[in-house]
Structure 1
Amino acid sequence: TTNGWSKVTVSGKTGYVESKYLSTTKPVVTTKYVDVDESSSLILRSTASETGTILTSLKRGTSVTVYSTAGDWAKVEANGKTGYVHSKYLSLTKPSTSSNTPSTSSTTNNNNTSSSSNTNTASTSNSNSSSNVTENDHSDSNSTTTSESIIKYVNVSNGSSLNMRSTPSSSASIVTKLARGTAVTFYSEANGWSLVSANGKTGYVNSAYLSSTVVQLPGAATAKISKVYEAYNITLNDAVNIQMKVNPQTDKKYSTFISSSAFSSLNSSTNPTQGVVSGTWNIRGGAGTNYWVVATAKNGTTLKILSKVKAADGSTWYQVSLDQSWVNASPDDVKYYLDPNNFSSDAIQQLQFLKLSTSANLDPAEVNEKILAGKGILAGKAAAFIKAGQTYGINEIYLIAHALLETGKGTSDLANGVSYKGVTVYNMYGIGAYDNDPTTGGAAYAYSQGWTTPEKAIIGGAAFIAKDFINAGQDTLYKMRWNPNAAAASNTATHQYATDIGWASKQVQQIYNLYSLLTSYSLTLDIPTYKE
């Protein structure tokens, strides 16, 4: 220990930590339960402050591990995430589903609406993937059912927008403004305020201006929407089995189990709370080898044990806590996202089938006014996006969404011009901007392509976006993720944009919000059908 820092070794790595956070005695760790109204949820924040970043929301009855309590805040772990919650909403006993409990938000005055509109972005990145090994068995079984987010819609008068605020108060700072019809992810409601997220922002809105049903948009009556159906010579169940062979990923949290034989040592023979793994073992979605493999535990891994379970064959298994962001998805969850019937009638989710090789037939003046206004270097560039779409056969809304995301709504260095070998170049889609040095990489690629104006970058970059997937026939988000044609033709899961089973579903809310700003557009939906 030197100058307040201690050199330590943990989990095979050596480094330095602040000494004041080390103790010679092990902290007391307890299990408590979220105790809020059934219609509310408890916010888990990154810091012990109302201004801390929202990590997730915890439903009534959720079990949390409490590490420490200071003042009004408790440091806890829940659903694989560690953060801070208000300690007064935690209980030592699990609350029933019918009791009344305190709410999670303070009282406040009504919110107001304003006449300005908001724009949105869509994510196009794929998730992380992980590899897996198996034991001497390969069978799958059912998992817990997929739970969907609650979506609501902004319902204000035409031409107005709803203020999203930083706290549930009409005097709080405005985070962003949401146009009529904007789809928001709803987390909780208390005292007339709803905690929601939309367009990459999270905050509070007046609950009176949210609707549980799709709000009629100004252009809905005149927008041209057509549907085509593409049949694949494969059953849905066969498609699921093909996907399971390549370990599709999810960030969903499962109950996970490991055989008692996996542990070389336990901290207690009667009621163990942790154990050390010997060798490489599968962690499964149930107590038994008939359940699918969620992840693997390598030799020397220490796992937190939650309970002891007897499998159907009489063998002993332990339910363990798995601290891993991405895991192998269950067959049921893969089937849910593969099945077009779960999405084709939903106003938002049907955009998984938006044919990206078809023009949106946009009005450039409307796009400049309602989507690109105030978006930095992208402002006024609607004509360039429309030309890019027409030149390379790609939906203009998809291009705009991609550019808004990659440029930070037109504010990034690459978007605004970077000098490379004495030439100012532009990059609107982040092409070549690798993590180790994104600015230099993106500039070098732009230089090689001659993107010396914003317009050249918008139009030229569209060719790159279209090349690998859209021009190859994978011209919907659904096809980019699942590639059903390859599955039917070659019985393999290949050339897929992402490993996350929910990737396509996660993109469409913000694409929907872009369309909701417009009155003049057309779209074609290409919906897959599988054999019975």
Structure 2
Amino acid sequence: MKSTLSRLGVATIVSGTILSTLAPLQSYAATSEGTVNTPILNVRSDSSTSSSIVGKLTEGTTVDVYAVNDEWAQINFEGQKRYVSSTYLTIGSSMSTASTSSASLYVAEMNVNLRSSMSTSASIETVIPKGSLVTHVSTHGATGSWYKVQFGTYTGYVAARYFTETSPTFYASTTAVLYDKTGTGASKIATIPEGAKVTYLESLGTTGSWYKIEYGSLVGYAPARNFTPTPLAPEAVTTYYAVKNVALYNGTGTGASKIATIPLGAEVKRVYVNGLSSSWYKVQYGDTVGYAAARNFSTSKPEAVVKTTYYAVRDLVLYESSASGAARLRTIQEGTKVVQVSDANLSDSWFKIEYDGVTGFAAARHFSTKAPEEVTITPYFAIRNVAMYSSSAAGATKVATIPFGAKVEQLSQSGLSSSWFKIRYDGKTGYAGSSHFSLKDPEVVVKTDYYTTRDVVLYNRSDAEKVKIAIIPFGTKVQQVSEPGLTERFFKIEYGPIIGYATADYFSKTAPSDEQYEEERQVRIYVDGNEPLNVRSTPDSSSTTNKVGTLSTGTIVNIKPIVGSKWALLTSGTYSGNYIHTDYVVPVTTTPPATGITKKVSYTSYPMTARQMADRQVAQFAQTDAHRYDEAYLPRAWVSVNGSTGKIVKSEMTVVSGLGTALKMTASSSSSSLVTIPYGASIQYVDRYTSGSTVWYKVKYGTMTGYVTPSSVVGTANILSRPILTSHAYGQINTGETVTITGQSGTYYTISYKRPAGHNIRVFDNTWRRASVDDLLPYVDPSQIDANSRSFYQFLDLSKSAGTTATTLNKVLTSKGTLSGQGQAFVDAASMYGVNEVYLLSHAILETGHGTSLLATGVPVDKDGNALINSSGNRIYPERPVAATVYNMYGIQATDSNPLGNGAKYAFQQKWFSPKEAIIGGAYWIGASYINHPTYKQNTLYKMRFNPSSPGTHQYATDIGWAAKQTTSIYNIYQSLDAYTLNFDVPKYQ
């Protein structure tokens, strides 16, 4: 039967939480979007879960409601008052506590869970991030404690206490693009400037990352990150000036359009905007407002541009900018008129130049305000070969050689010293000494390059009365000088500073092999331990492919030693035409009478074992080339690999400079030091920086960051002899260096690496690797060295004379250039300074390339001792007269950076004006440095290398085989003497 009760309200069955308080009779409205946890709701006869169930309601059903509290609602069910759980009712709009507003906008005050129903146990649809916007759909619960909201593509329920209602008015926090839709393929419909006001309509996307907004009359879509509900701060304005022509854009983003050009010096107003990148300014130029790069403006008004007329004083290059490496625009010829444009920001050493419609930059020193004078051209002829230089200043670069007899144009130039000519030759302009030219055309003399095809005797004349003045070694390049009337059998020859005559048949225009050979001789193969000697197709032991066979110790062969080398060409036997190393041969000579040779052996005891000696040498770092062909292993964890190239990434490094190393503020030796990092300290590699040819490491030491040199530090990445961390380390590699990956063994790579110049000797090298104790023992233990072998001569007492004569030594010095006939000088030097004459002779032969080096043949110097020839023997500084010719037979002070110049200057300071003076004077330096040193007294090659009295200090070399290798020449010389005395000083270990 239908109820006669009046209809007091409606309700829809939904999922939700229990209403917290009893409410007066209300009207409840259904919402179509709510979800239901329990699709079937029980209708009971009373407000108790134990009462009988009188019916069921399905989701979405609308009912009349009479009363409601936290647990139960009284409803009209089939005309009867019945009860249902109030948890599943959505409050209608007629009740003040359950108003709905589809236009309300709320902001999350923290991260909030969006749930499927009004229960903290309901499933979480998504998490709404703090600060995100949601659209309010309806309010639920007697106290409105739940909101139904829309967030992006989600609709669900949130706790109302975590949200605050906000205005739909927003502001662009930066320049933003308005699109016609979201996603791929969206089209731009407008640009919203920074600070512009928009109206928020709704959030889109699964995370609300897009807003649908109204901007003016347009409705579109834009990323939510570009908007804020807070208006931007009031704009401030400052006056600026353009320091160059500046492009003004309508925005700062990619794709912004140019709207104006602000000229150099123009005044603009900078408008300060919150959130704008520091690299951009918002500026007003006239009535136009836009954006421009900040670097193009200054608060100081630039000075007025001044243009000045200048003239180029030489040919010069016009560059695109004054920066290093700038592109070349064109060449401006000497005398050209240009306009110099003032530029307040430009260095004084540069001019900004306008020329032929082009603006560029050039060095200021190349211009003058004076117009060039009219040049007078006078023809001259070179009366000798003349070097032409880039300028008349000291240190100028040689640009050409003008041959004898060549016609040149002498160009007048005011202010030029009378000792110089400015000349033009073969299209080139330069400077040369005026004394080398004549107005008269000299007799034409033709000079032709030739090469000797054998050792050639040079005579002072070509007739029967001729006298030998020199021997030109095989393969030497000389010049044949034409001379009318000279018979075809003879050539007039220029051989360095010597001019003479020689048989024409002994010369060829074709250069022979670069190798120059000594006289053929017979030798016996001798390798310590009776090992065989490798025969190679080329004179190179670093190659792994040139080995053609071996020769057994004791084999007798004929050889031609290569001048200035430790290699020899085999001229007999199966391997004739191939090469062997001369460290492993001894002369085959007739044994001199026993009475002519005296051998004395003494022993010096040291308080250590031979192994302890080897241990000390390893601690000081000793090198060997014995493992050059062995695999070298690097843990894979310490290297980053790209193809066959690996980069060391182990960042730890150690200071190995004995006095520590300066941590520089910048990558420059002249930079201030932050601190001196002590020896053994650990540092962290950051980066590398190259200044010219100098490499610096940027490192971190404690809290400080600065720069150190590669020679003062070593990386901690060990290169190992076997693929195991505890194996012997051949050396380390610095962080950031690259190696070549040659293979892989488990967790190790095999690598190849050449130690760069300037790196510490502890750094690994393919050829020169750190020696182990086992490597060292055969070299430091005298008991392992045969007393009758060549190697035993490393114990020869070099402070004692060989007791030989000048006549005997002169036999050895035959065909040794300026050393020839100097036997008495070596005997005198030995007597005066207590240095073995055979050792001195051997040292001189090695250093001078058998008496043929420039330091041996004589170097002309000026009054200050500066060399007047270069390393090629060509004359330099022609304006300087020759003050003396100096000689240096032992290469003393001939440092790697400038061997000829430094060696000649030292010889000048010592007054070595003849070969004899250089031989005797140099002997003092050799004796004082090691052999007769008052503290170290290193009177043998062994002591020079290992210094057993104080191992690890004042040692001559790091190669463990150095002392044995130096014995070859000394031993060979002794074997060629008729009579001599041998004094040996042999270490004796415990």
Q: Name the TM-score, length of structure 2 as normaliser.
A: 0.33
1:527 corresponds in structure 2 to 986
Quote the offset at 1:416 in angstroms. Answer: 2.5
Does the CA-based 8 Å contact 1:182-1:513 persist in structure 2? no
2:778 corresponds in structure 1 to 336
Does the CA-based 8 Å contact 1:187-1:195 persist in structure 2? no
| Deviation digits for residues 49-105 of structure 1 (CA, Å, limit 9, x no counterpart) | xxxxxxxxxxxxxxxxxxxxxxxxxxxxxxxxxxxxxxxxxxxxxxxxxxxxxxxxx
1:264 corresponds in structure 2 to 640
Higher share of residues assigned strand: 2
Over 3 Å counting, the alpha-carbon distance change for 1:432 and 1:276 in structure 2 is closer
Does the CA-based 8 Å contact 1:229-1:528 persist in structure 2? yes
Residue 947 of structure 2: which of 436, 460, 483 is its match? Answer: 483
For 2:949, the aligned partner's letter is N
* Secondary structure, aligned partner of 2:932: helix
Is 1:176 the counterpart of 2:524? The answer is no
* Residues 300-379 of structure 1 mapped to structure 2, 5 A cutoff: 300-309=736-745, 316-323=747-754, 324=765, 325-368=767-810, 370-379=811-820
Over 3 Å counting, the alpha-carbon distance change for 1:452 and 1:228 in structure 2 is same
Is 1:293 the counterpart of 2:729? The answer is yes
Does the CA-based 8 Å contact 1:359-1:393 persist in structure 2? yes
For 1:203, the aligned partner's letter is L
Does the CA-based 8 Å contact 1:352-1:477 persist in structure 2? yes
Over 3 Å counting, the alpha-carbon distance change for 1:303 and 1:250 in structure 2 is same
2:647 corresponds in structure 1 to 276
Does the CA-based 8 Å contact 2:791-2:964 persist in structure 1? yes
Quote the offset at 1:485 in angstroms. Answer: 0.8
Quote the offset at 1:484 in angstroms. Answer: 0.5
Does the CA-based 8 Å contact 1:344-1:527 persist in structure 2? no
Does the CA-based 8 Å contact 1:226-1:525 persist in structure 2? yes
Does the CA-based 8 Å contact 2:518-2:560 persist in structure 1? no
Runs of 5+ unmatched residues, structure 2: 1-514, 528-532, 536-548, 651-714, 755-764, 864-882
Over 3 Å counting, the alpha-carbon distance change for 1:332 and 1:444 in structure 2 is same
**Aligned equivalents of 2:788, 2:847: Cα separation in 1:** 27
**Larger mean Cα displacement after TM superposition, 326-335 or 274-283:** 274-283
**Aligned equivalents of 2:774, 2:965: Cα separation in 1:** 18
Does the CA-based 8 Å contact 2:844-2:889 persist in structure 1? yes
What percent identity do the matched residue pairs reach?
A: 36
Quote the offset at 1:414 in angstroms. Answer: 2.0
For 1:257, the aligned partner's letter is Y
| Deviation digits for residues 360-389 of structure 1 (CA, Å, limit 9, x no counterpart) | 011211221x21112111111111100100
**Aligned equivalents of 1:425, 1:212: Cα separation in 2:** 35
Is 1:394 the counterpart of 2:842? The answer is no
Quote the offset at 1:197 in angstroms. Answer: 7.8
* Secondary structure, aligned partner of 1:484: coil
| Deviation digits for residues 264-303 of structure 1 (CA, Å, limit 9, x no counterpart) | 3465xxxxx6543312411111222222221223334444
For 1:317, the aligned partner's letter is Y
For 1:278, the aligned partner's letter is V
| Deviation digits for residues 153-206 of structure 1 (CA, Å, limit 9, x no counterpart) | xxxxxxxxxxxxxxxxxxxx9943344556677433599997978573421132
**Aligned equivalents of 1:219, 1:180: Cα separation in 2:** 17
Is 1:228 the counterpart of 2:628? The answer is no
Count, aligned residues: 343
**Aligned equivalents of 2:931, 2:989: Cα separation in 1:** 21
Q: Name the TM-score, length of structure 1 as normaliser.
A: 0.59
* Secondary structure, aligned partner of 1:176: coil
* Secondary structure, aligned partner of 1:436: coil
Residue 203 of structure 1: which of 569, 572, 588 is its match? Answer: 569
Does the CA-based 8 Å contact 2:519-2:560 persist in structure 1? no
* Secondary structure, aligned partner of 2:608: strand
Does the CA-based 8 Å contact 1:187-1:196 persist in structure 2? no
**Aligned equivalents of 1:500, 1:399: Cα separation in 2:** 21
**Aligned equivalents of 2:885, 2:974: Cα separation in 1:** 33
Quote the offset at 1:445 in angstroms. Answer: 1.1
**Aligned equivalents of 1:485, 1:344: Cα separation in 2:** 23
1:467 corresponds in structure 2 to 928
**Larger mean Cα displacement after TM superposition, 461-470 or 251-260:** 251-260
| Deviation digits for residues 440-485 of structure 1 (CA, Å, limit 9, x no counterpart) | 2222111211222221111111000001110021111110000001
For 2:604, the aligned partner's letter is E
Runs of 5+ unmatched residues, structure 1: 1-172, 268-272, 311-315, 488-492
**Aligned equivalents of 2:723, 2:748: Cα separation in 1:** 6
Q: Which has the higher contact order (CA 8 A, sep 6+)?
A: 1
Does the CA-based 8 Å contact 1:256-1:322 persist in structure 2? no
| Deviation digits for residues 218-270 of structure 1 (CA, Å, limit 9, x no counterpart) | 32633111111111111111111111112111223232112222133465xxx
Does the CA-based 8 Å contact 1:223-1:521 persist in structure 2? yes
For 1:446, the aligned partner's letter is A
* Secondary structure, aligned partner of 1:177: coil
Residue 918 of structure 2: which of 452, 457, 467 is its match? Answer: 457
For 2:648, the aligned partner's letter is V
* Secondary structure, aligned partner of 2:751: strand
Instruction: Compare CA radii of gyration and give the structure with the larger one.
Output: 2
* Secondary structure, aligned partner of 1:234: coil
Does the CA-based 8 Å contact 2:523-2:557 persist in structure 1? no
* Secondary structure, aligned partner of 2:783: helix
Over 3 Å counting, the alpha-carbon distance change for 1:388 and 1:212 in structure 2 is closer
**Aligned equivalents of 1:454, 1:266: Cα separation in 2:** 57
**Aligned equivalents of 2:585, 2:623: Cα separation in 1:** 30
**Aligned equivalents of 2:585, 2:730: Cα separation in 1:** 34
For 2:909, the aligned partner's letter is S
**Aligned equivalents of 1:187, 1:403: Cα separation in 2:** 29
Does the CA-based 8 Å contact 1:415-1:426 persist in structure 2? yes
2:965 corresponds in structure 1 to 506
Quote the offset at 1:214 in angstroms. Answer: 8.2
**Aligned equivalents of 2:801, 2:566: Cα separation in 1:** 26
1:25 corresponds in structure 2 to none
* Secondary structure, aligned partner of 1:207: coil
**Aligned equivalents of 1:203, 1:373: Cα separation in 2:** 20
* Secondary structure, aligned partner of 2:855: helix
Over 3 Å counting, the alpha-carbon distance change for 1:291 and 1:220 in structure 2 is farther
Does the CA-based 8 Å contact 2:800-2:834 persist in structure 1? yes
Over 3 Å counting, the alpha-carbon distance change for 1:278 and 1:482 in structure 2 is same
**Aligned equivalents of 1:476, 1:353: Cα separation in 2:** 5
For 1:261, the aligned partner's letter is A
**Aligned equivalents of 2:842, 2:556: Cα separation in 1:** 29
Over 3 Å counting, the alpha-carbon distance change for 1:458 and 1:302 in structure 2 is closer
Over 3 Å counting, the alpha-carbon distance change for 1:453 and 1:319 in structure 2 is closer
* Residues 29-428 of structure 1 mapped to structure 2, 5 A cutoff: 175-180=517-522, 186-188=533-535, 198=561, 200-207=566-573, 215=588, 217-219=590-592, 221=594, 222-252=596-626, 253=628, 254-265=630-641, 267=643, 275-279=646-650, 280=715, 281-309=717-745, 316-323=747-754, 324=765, 325-368=767-810, 370-420=811-861, 421=863, 422-428=883-889
Over 3 Å counting, the alpha-carbon distance change for 1:220 and 1:441 in structure 2 is farther
Over 3 Å counting, the alpha-carbon distance change for 1:201 and 1:339 in structure 2 is same
Quote the offset at 1:412 in angstroms. Answer: 2.2
**Aligned equivalents of 2:922, 2:753: Cα separation in 1:** 41
